[in-house]
Amino acid sequence: MTVNGADDVLLVHGGTPLEGEIRVRGAKNLVPKAMVAALLGSAPSRLRNVPDIRDVRVVRGLLQLHGVTVRPGEEPGELVLDPTHVESANVADIDAHAGSSRIPILFCGPLLHRLGHAFIPGLGGCDIGGRPIDFHFDVLRQFGAKIEKRADGQYLEAPQRLRGTKINLPYPSVGATEQVLLTAVLAEGVTELSNAAVEPEIEDLICVLQKMGAIIAMDTDRTIRVTGVDELGGYTHRALSDRLEAASWASAALATEGNVYVRGAQQRSMMTFLNTFRKVGGAFEIDDEGIRFWHPGGRLKSIALETDVHPGFQTDWQQPLVVALTQATGLSIVHETVYESRLGFTSALNQMGAHIQLYRECLGGSDCRFGQRNFLHSAVVSGPTKLEGADLVIPDLRGGFSYLIAALAAQGTSRVHGIDLINRGYENFMDKLVELGAKVELPGKALG
């Protein structure tokens, strides 16, 4: 189901536990990047377990603009990507995608290798704090790219073959690590990346590139070494499941006192979340096909929580879980260390009856890079509190799903505005809500 235009408001009649089964498919933070990687190959690639989300549609459109043939495969959720006839795209057509996604920045390396030039328009994405793209361009310059800033975006050229280099990340950024990987694999010589991100989605992207013929070694100290090769082929790959979506449904089950089986959820990539979920008082059961999450009754427990890069507690898990923490007994402390503005969504929860106070200090076990920069990046959640329905305007992807959880857990009816943003990362979320027994409706149009 596609939600847009006048249908961008959802009525949520709260107070009903979510119960039933839903399925999560490939990770939003891997699939679009694996699609970009297909640009590097000299033969078609086959990607399986692809979710029908907006980021996938954006990348599919950009690939097609550059001459890549993208068609459905033999099984549901499979794409076949043929980069045999890569070509330059019209600047106006590329610019039409500006503001809809940050993923176009990752086209730079592959296009420089294939065409010798690339154009990157202005970029969008969720407003959850600074995610500067300047570092991407600095890295590309180190590889030998020439970059010209123009009124409508950035124009890049590679007069000669890009060359391997040594790069040290000041912070283990996922996007920067992806940029280096997608550029280094065809660059001449060896690239050494220090302080790299090592999220499961990064490892899965490395698996994709290795299948294509890349030579990539990961050390235990966050160092990745890439030996450039002259040519890459295609790949056949089944994307790892979306651990961030799975955790969102788990938090929804906990906050609504429900019972949800998430088919496709995988223990290995969710171990840190599962430990925290159990500490709060949630219950789960793991089998070969997925994980069942439920509220076992009784009181939920307050906790102290710090977000961090993998293998720490992921920042994308924080917002949905905070909704459940409003129902825990006592004071929970949340220290956000990844995105400085990610706790802004709590103001709407307070309007619904939550008691959440934000602080500029680091309320955690260690100082972080935001502690002296005047950002409200720590929260104290006092509970349990009854939530009441309200008018809510979705601020970003994870915050938006958190508002949905709060509306589902609240008494009364909430009007949730801007739900189209949730389509960026949650496949068929409206249908899944109905399958779990949620009482939701589009104004003038009942669902289910």
Q: What is the DSSP letter of 249?
A: H
The CA-based angle 9-13-14, given to 5 degrees, is 120
Neighbours of 146 (CB within 10 A): 13
- Asked whether residue 373 is marked as a ligand-binding residue, the answer is no
Percent helix, strand, coil in the chain, to 5, is: 35, 25, 40
Those residues whose C-beta lies under 8 Å from the C-beta of residue 220, and which sit 6 or more positions away, are none
| Helix (H) or strand (E) run with residue 274 in it | helix 271-280
- Asked whether residue 29 is marked as a ligand-binding residue, the answer is yes
Token representation of residue 168: 């040290």
> Do residues 274 and 319 touch, judged by C-beta distance below 8 A?
no
- Asked whether residue 316 is marked as a ligand-binding residue, the answer is yes
CA–CA gap between residue 441 and residue 406 (Å, rounded): 16
Neighbours of 432 (CB within 10 A): 22
- Nearest Cα neighbor of 266 from 288, 249, 238, 237 is 288
Residue 362 falls in the annotated catalytic set = no
- DSSP-assigned beta bridge partners for residue 306: 335
Q: What is the DSSP letter of 356?
A: E
Those residues whose C-beta lies under 8 Å from the C-beta of residue 96, and which sit 6 or more positions away, are none
Catalytic residue among 126, 207, 362, 368: 126
CA–CA gap between residue 127 and residue 341 (Å, rounded): 8
Those residues whose C-beta lies under 8 Å from the C-beta of residue 99, and which sit 6 or more positions away, are 122, 123, 124
- Asked whether residue 102 is marked as a ligand-binding residue, the answer is yes
Question: What 3-state class would DSSP assign to 81?
Answer: strand
User: Which residues are annotated binding-site positions for phosphoenolpyruvate?
Assistant: 28-29
- Binding-site residue ranges: 28-29, 102, 316, 338
Catalytic residue list = 126
Binding residues for UDP-N-acetyl-alpha-D-glucosamine: 102, 316, 338
